[in-house]
Structure 1
Amino acid sequence: MRDLKRLLHPAHLWDLFVTSDPALGRLRQGMRAVVSAGLAALLLSRLARWLGEPPTVTLVGTMVAMMGSQLATDPSPRAQRMTTLLMLLPATASIVLGTLASRIPLLGAAAFAVTIFLATFARRFGPRGLALGMIGFFAFFNALFFHAQLAQLPALAGATVVGIGLAYTVRFGLIRDRARLDLQRFLRTFRKTVAIVLWNLTDLPERPRMTRSLLRRLGREQDRLNDSALAVEELLTRCQPALRLRIFDLELAVSRVLGAVQQVVESDALVPDARREIRQALAAARTFVREGDPAARRLMQEHIEHVRNSVSGMPEDAPGRADARRLSNSISDLVEAAAQLPHKAPRLAPGQAAAATAGTRPPEQPAEKGLHPATRQAIQVTVASVLAMVVGHAVSADRWYWAVITTFVIFTRTRTLGDTLQRAWARVLGTLLGVIAGLLLAGLVVGHRTVELAGVFVCIFFGFYLIQLSYAWMVFWFTTLISILYSLLGLFSPGLLYLRIEETLIGAGLGVLIAIILLPEGTTVHIHATARQVLSAVCDYLEEAVVNRSKESDPARLIDAARTLDARLRDLRTAARPLNGRLVRFAPRTARTVHAVSELVLFVRHLALGKGVPEVNEAAREWIRQAGVRLASNARALERALERKEAPLLEPAMPLLEKARQSLAGEETVRRGPASPPILLHWLARVDDTLNLIARTASAFRGRALPQRT
């Protein structure tokens, strides 16, 4: 009952709602689609009636406007504007080609296959290539879907121009991005995310043991925190190192609290009264982070003092005393870091605003060996689409293109076989649920034109609003949209929706089959390639934060290295997503490698940008530097071993860390906080242990014994 009340707490539910759409980006995405489609439908329907053109012209222009407002995802606003304008070329060409080629079935199929290949091949040119390829494909599809006629070509070309113009106006005029507002919202969301993490931790200290489900929950909270921090980071520029450092400090402080709470549960050394005080301290800290209430901070300190008093009678080296000290220090550090984070975003100069909107560019990918992924996918999707045309046409001579569009989209924004399987399943599931909803809704709204029109725009909004959360939800809403649209056009029948299910199953099945047998890229291969990139980022971070760290080190450079590491880890989690759940049993060693690499990143980030390195005496600093060199070398050796599929050979860093620990003197041995030398050495030791764990996992995966370390 307590857990239910905790989860349904109004403030917690509100925080979850706010953080689900941090800068209202998904809301803007849905609104842009609705406004673009609405303006296009209103304007083009009047022009079509005035010129005596059929509804096909209005529908094609409306679809172009809706899609055109969404597809530009370039890093900078200027590039997004250029991409949106350039969409006019492939959209017009595809509509003309689709209309001309559809007159001759065999020629139309060949033209569609060529369009599919080019649209997929264009992805190799980055976000702009993806956008232009997608608009070209959907424009060709619209010509088929709405049965465009040759006599309508001038009007269709004009509707395309109007649609792109409206998409540009809505995207960059009516509902545009505002860098400073987005930054303010992301800062607010980051605070609320920290509050959510703390609220979800409040029940843990009183748990009797740390179960596997609780460990997964801690992992999810760490991922939630990291994703929120990265979202803020992507809007910040190198001109704001102070704010970036405060965000990093708060994120790291929360990570230390997560580890301290886990240790309290695992050791089971604190009495129940102390654990209740910890729960109250976490709740008070959450209130302070969320609202900045000084009274909450004082209350937190009182509860922490009670925790310390509860272990005052224990020996100095007792586990309970160490747990209480670690927990109280970590919560105090968190509250202090939260107090340093401003509630309002700094004012951005015009140049900074443009840079903030552009975001942080993703790190460059290493050169591909063999076929480029876009070329490989272009071959796969073209072959699968041709087969879908044949089989889909055998089922329905009029609606075969539903199978083709399914084949095309399940290869969109995917890389591996596992990704394609997931997307195919989402497409099928969304279609099935959408058909059920369409059958129910169509019976309710048929004959009510105003309700049908409203239903169309509701489906458009939720389709684009939810696409970032789940592709299945987007398919659900657009399948429902098709049902209402057919009802609006007087063409609705249950058999038509059943046919859509059949064609979707054909397209998804053929797409998966081709992904398996033609130029497949295994999920585990991609995961190991991404893991190598993480290890490379770990090496770079160790060199920046430990080997070359000094009082003169550039904070922006250090944070850049940390955020590159975070971005690589996010790539690894994305690559490993197809192995979640029951699919783990098919690649258990790969799953263990992912877990170990994720832990490695967590331990490396606890080095706190190497703040403790310049704070120690010269002898200890030299031993720490040598240990950092060895750890970075071990990370690089692991990276090479994974690439060459050979057993890695690592050198232990523990002897160097022991010498550094023995070299500490005076208050260096008891200093607390992020710059504490003992804590720095502790996390370096954890990094050393985890690198060796990854080496053992990799060696077992390769079927070889791990060489002896020297």
Structure 2
Amino acid sequence: MRYWHRLLASDPGRKRLRTASKVTLSVISSVMVMLIIILYAGGQVTAAIFAGVVGMMGILVVNDDTEKEKKLTTVLLALSSACSLTIGSWLAKWGMAADLFLLLVVFLALYLQRFGSRYFSICMIAFMSFYFATLLKVDFTQVPWLFASILTGILFAYFYNFILIHDKPEEVLKRSMASFHIQANLTLNLVIEIVRDIKMDKQRLLNLDRNVKKLGDYARVVSNELGTTEPGEIWPGLSTSQLRLYIFDTAMLMETLSPSIRRLKEHRALENHAIRSSLLQVIQSIREAEVLNREQVHYLENAAASLQTLRELLWTLNPDEDNGEWLYLIRRIESIANHIIDGAFGLQQSLQQANEHHIGQRTEEQENDEQEEQDEEYGIRPTTKKAIQALIAGGLSIVLGHIYSPAHQYWILLSCFVVLLGTETVGRTLVKAVQRSIGTFLGAIAGFIIAMYLTGIQDIVMLFICVFLAFYLLPISYTLMMFWITMLLALMYDILLGGINQQLMIARVIDTVAGVGLGFAVSALIYPHRTRDKVTTSTVEYLNSLKEYVNNYIDRFSEKHTAFNLADLALELDQLLETLIEDASPLYRGWFGRSGIQQQLTVLTAINFYAKHLTASSTRKSQLNTDERFEDLLNHVQRSLTENIDALSAAVRGEGQARIVNLDEERRQVERLPEKSKSNDHELLNHLRLLHNVHYIWRINESIVYLARQLGAEPKSKDQ
């Protein structure tokens, strides 16, 4: 059962499954219908294969923002494919003219992206149609049949994309939330197993860490869906901020449980039967609570009761040298679990109120800021640079193709063009080039072997399996996608060319390596965008968002506080960090030498962890009660921390001599404040609560100071 649940959760929103299903069904339907037409009206099997190509492209390359735009783009694909096919069949005998036309399409595909994804889609299908026409040496007499293929492929792409398997944003969000809950429960089940077993099982703990990371990925998926979909359409009464806060708290509970359980076992705290039983009861009750189910409020009540039992138990235990540290760990778990339960009750209350008042509609406020962003940098735009790179690399690929493999002169061009798509930096281009080469090599071997043993209908069935697996696995691994695509091409060559031989597949692998090599070389020499420059830009962007987040958090302690959803900012920080890690992957994986990038990412990950705990572990009041001295001191801390973040940004950019300040003295002053006045118990308790709320501020600053000094920053004297 566990593996079944894990399978259900593995594809949040079932996006991969739906996309792969649509592509596969579109290809199958297009090929089968054209085969039937050919059978009764005469014609060549190439028309059926081309219908499948168009049916596949009609779904894959359509990426407009709205459904209306997607439908129009799908229709325009038919016109683009027909024009390109006609020109390709007409220019086939003119050699150089055909080469120039194909280079023009490659250039426009990348250059016109600045005006929207539609133009890229139109040029992409034009490229593939022209490529298909030259590969099969299509003459003018075959064009009418291929026009029928285009019509068939586009009709089925439209049917599956917008009618039969229509992706409604509300359904995607609902399925994504279901995947998030399944993964959360799987993680909690593992926590329960670990807590029950007094012994330290390192393998289980490692498994828990993997599950927590996966849940964090799912949280980001749901958060992104909430950016475009109003949850009130599915669960009347719920707001985006409410649901985001609940997702954030749930993910943070898991991130807190993973290291805390490990340390509790190290301190032998779970050998205390009362603590272990009470903690288990809390975790089990949270797992059983169905937060978005109006009929299951009693599970939340049980969770609240079990949490209160744990809280009362903690009150009976006085911290000492033996239990002081692990009591703090359990109090952290109790604090974040309390946030989840409070948030869940808030969700239930909103659902109940909406149900009682029969709220069936919500006012949807969507801000569609579709203004074209001004390019602030002087000189050539990035899209123009990429188009020039593709033009130069494409020209060299065609020349090399005519020299090395004149029978398939555009194979090298195809690999070169594809490896330049979606690769912003030199490092990403190299990674994609290597992945494509490995996938092609392994796929060619497998495809050659399989093609020898399959015939007739078996080839067709295997071809469809390859289509499904290629696009189902694409978001997971580009190498796996290329493996199945190369197998698919091997089977297509077997069908179209009447057989496949070893020399043909070796030539395909060599052409792929040559193409990706040319693409990488040109990206590294012509208008190169270095990976380090991209990492610097992403790091500075993250630090700017961190500064905004910390300032909004500290403002909660003063009268200038304004309502702000810190969970939204925390989730944005999480997404920016993931983007930074992805941008830096060619560096920390050793493609261009590590040079300290791994240490930098480790510190930034720690900062991100501390930043999220500011919201997760703190009191959820709009404004906290503070005295004048505390507020003045914290304002000074805020200014110093802001300056330190700016100094770290300058150090990352390599600008001058950055100066940073340590806040150890300010921390001591904050912690000594109660000693400077005759405080009653209430005031002392309030101050301790304030200290708890600012605890991670010091941790964030320590990490910033450490990283800035590693990058060359110098301490700032107090009189500066």
TM-score between the two structures when normalised by the length of structure 1? 0.83
Q: Indicate the residue corresponding to 2:471 in structure 1.
A: 464
Aligned partner of 1:387 among 380, 393, 396: 396
Q: Indicate the residue corresponding to 1:561 in structure 2.
A: 569
User: Structure 1 219/182 Cα, relative in aligned 2: closer, same or farther at 3 Å?
Assistant: closer
1:632 aligns with 2:642: yes
Please give the alpha-carbon distance, in whole angstroms, between the structure 1 residues aligned to 2:438 and 2:277.
41
1:689 aligns with 2:689: no
User: Structure 1 306/680 Cα, relative in aligned 2: closer, same or farther at 3 Å?
Assistant: closer
Q: Is the 8 A contact 1:524 1:590 kept in 2?
A: no
Cα displacement string for residues 371-406 of structure 1 (whole angstroms, at most 9, x for unaligned residues):
333222222233223222233333321123222211
1:281 Cα deviation (Å)? 4.3
1:443 aligns with 2:456: no
Q: Indicate the residue corresponding to 1:248 in structure 2.
A: 248
Secondary structure of 2:446's counterpart equals helix
Task: Out of 616-625 and 240-249, give the one that drifted further.
Answer: 616-625
Q: Is the 8 A contact 2:241 2:565 kept in 1?
A: no
Secondary structure of 2:527's counterpart equals coil
Q: Indicate the residue corresponding to 1:107 in structure 2.
A: 97
Count of matched residue positions in the alignment of Structure 1 and Structure 2 = 687
Q: Is the 8 A contact 2:81 2:125 kept in 1?
A: yes
Please give the alpha-carbon distance, in whole angstroms, between the structure 1 residues aligned to 2:220 and 2:716.
37
Please give the alpha-carbon distance, in whole angstroms, between the structure 2 residues aligned to 1:423 and 1:121.
21
1:530 Cα deviation (Å)? 0.4
Secondary structure of 2:711's counterpart equals helix
Cα displacement string for residues 568-604 of structure 1 (whole angstroms, at most 9, x for unaligned residues):
22221221222344448x1232222222223222222
Which residue identity does 1:681 align to in structure 2? V
Please give the alpha-carbon distance, in whole angstroms, between the structure 2 residues aligned to 1:423 and 1:276.
54
Which residue identity does 1:510 align to in structure 2? L
Aligned partner of 1:418 among 427, 439, 464: 427
Aligned partner of 1:227 among 217, 220, 227: 220
Please give the alpha-carbon distance, in whole angstroms, between the structure 1 residues aligned to 2:269 and 2:372.
48
Which residue identity does 1:402 align to in structure 2? W
Which residue identity does 1:682 align to in structure 2? H
Aligned-residue identity in percent: 21
Cα displacement string for residues 481-528 of structure 1 (whole angstroms, at most 9, x for unaligned residues):
122223334232233222211211211222222233332222122111
1:400 aligns with 2:406: no
Cα displacement string for residues 38-90 of structure 1 (whole angstroms, at most 9, x for unaligned residues):
22223334445666543333332321121111222233333333333333444
Secondary structure of 2:660's counterpart equals coil
Please give the alpha-carbon distance, in whole angstroms, between the structure 2 residues aligned to 1:473 and 1:210.
28
Written as runs of structure 1 = structure 2, the 5 A alignment for 1:284-299 is: 285=283, 288-289=286-287, 292=290
Please give the alpha-carbon distance, in whole angstroms, between the structure 1 residues aligned to 2:128 and 2:247.
42
Q: Is the 8 A contact 1:315 1:321 kept in 2?
A: no
Aligned partner of 2:31 among 35, 41, 51: 41
Cα displacement string for residues 504-559 of structure 1 (whole angstroms, at most 9, x for unaligned residues):
12112222222333322221221111001111111222233333677997766544
Task: Out of 68-77 and 290-299, give the one that drifted further.
Answer: 290-299
Cα displacement string for residues 663-689 of structure 1 (whole angstroms, at most 9, x for unaligned residues):
5765465469xx942232101111211
Q: Indicate the residue corresponding to 2:481 in structure 1.
A: 474
Q: Indicate the residue corresponding to 2:173 in structure 1.
A: 183
Written as runs of structure 1 = structure 2, the 5 A alignment for 1:268-283 is: 268-271=266-269, 273-274=271-272, 281=279
Which residue identity does 1:418 align to in structure 2? G
Please give the alpha-carbon distance, in whole angstroms, between the structure 2 residues aligned to 1:214 and 1:51.
59
Secondary structure of 2:535's counterpart equals helix
Q: Is the 8 A contact 1:463 1:475 kept in 2?
A: yes
Please give the alpha-carbon distance, in whole angstroms, between the structure 2 residues aligned to 1:706 and 1:683.
21
Which residue identity does 2:226 align to in structure 1? E
1:285 Cα deviation (Å)? 2.0
Written as runs of structure 1 = structure 2, the 5 A alignment for 1:31-430 is: 31-48=21-38, 52-199=42-189, 203=194, 207=200, 220=213, 223-224=216-217, 226-237=219-230, 239-261=239-261, 263-264=263-264, 268-271=266-269, 273-274=271-272, 281=279, 285=283, 288-289=286-287, 292=290, 314-315=320-321, 318-330=324-336, 367-368=376-377, 370-430=379-439
Please give the alpha-carbon distance, in whole angstroms, between the structure 1 residues aligned to 2:94 and 2:323.
85
Written as runs of structure 1 = structure 2, the 5 A alignment for 1:512-531 is: 512-531=520-539
Q: Indicate the residue corresponding to 1:3 in structure 2.
A: none
User: Structure 1 324/36 Cα, relative in aligned 2: closer, same or farther at 3 Å?
Assistant: closer
User: Structure 1 418/279 Cα, relative in aligned 2: closer, same or farther at 3 Å?
Assistant: farther
Q: Indicate the residue corresponding to 1:7 in structure 2.
A: none
Which residue identity does 1:81 align to in structure 2? K
Q: Is the 8 A contact 2:437 2:513 kept in 1?
A: yes
TM-score between the two structures when normalised by the length of structure 2? 0.82
Which residue identity does 2:462 align to in structure 1? G
Please give the alpha-carbon distance, in whole angstroms, between the structure 2 residues aligned to 1:351 and 1:93.
46
Which residue identity does 1:43 align to in structure 2? V
1:434 aligns with 2:424: no
Q: Which has the larger radius of gyration?
A: 2
Q: Indicate the residue corresponding to 2:615 in structure 1.
A: 608
Q: Indicate the residue corresponding to 1:677 in structure 2.
A: 690
Q: Indicate the residue corresponding to 2:293 in structure 1.
A: none
Aligned partner of 1:19 among 9, 23, 43: 9
Cα displacement string for residues 603-647 of structure 1 (whole angstroms, at most 9, x for unaligned residues):
222221874571222423454344334423432343344345333
Please give the alpha-carbon distance, in whole angstroms, between the structure 1 residues aligned to 2:465 and 2:366.
34
Please give the alpha-carbon distance, in whole angstroms, between the structure 1 residues aligned to 2:440 and 2:594.
30
Secondary structure of 1:87's counterpart equals helix
What residue ranges of structure 2 are gaps of 5+ in the alignment? 232-238, 291-298
Please give the alpha-carbon distance, in whole angstroms, between the structure 1 residues aligned to 2:575 and 2:519.
30
Please give the alpha-carbon distance, in whole angstroms, between the structure 1 residues aligned to 2:6 and 2:305.
25
Task: Out of 548-557 and 479-488, give the one that drifted further.
Answer: 548-557
Please give the alpha-carbon distance, in whole angstroms, between the structure 2 residues aligned to 1:362 and 1:601.
32
Q: Indicate the residue corresponding to 2:234 in structure 1.
A: none
Cα displacement string for residues 292-322 of structure 1 (whole angstroms, at most 9, x for unaligned residues):
5679959976996899699768448833443
1:488 aligns with 2:495: yes
Secondary structure of 1:588's counterpart equals coil
Please give the alpha-carbon distance, in whole angstroms, between the structure 2 residues aligned to 1:578 and 1:114.
31
Q: Is the 8 A contact 1:547 1:629 kept in 2?
A: no
Task: Out of 193-202 and 501-510, give the one that drifted further.
Answer: 193-202
Task: Out of 24-33 and 486-495, give the one that drifted further.
Answer: 486-495
1:647 aligns with 2:647: no
What residue ranges of structure 1 are gaps of 5+ in the alignment? 1-9
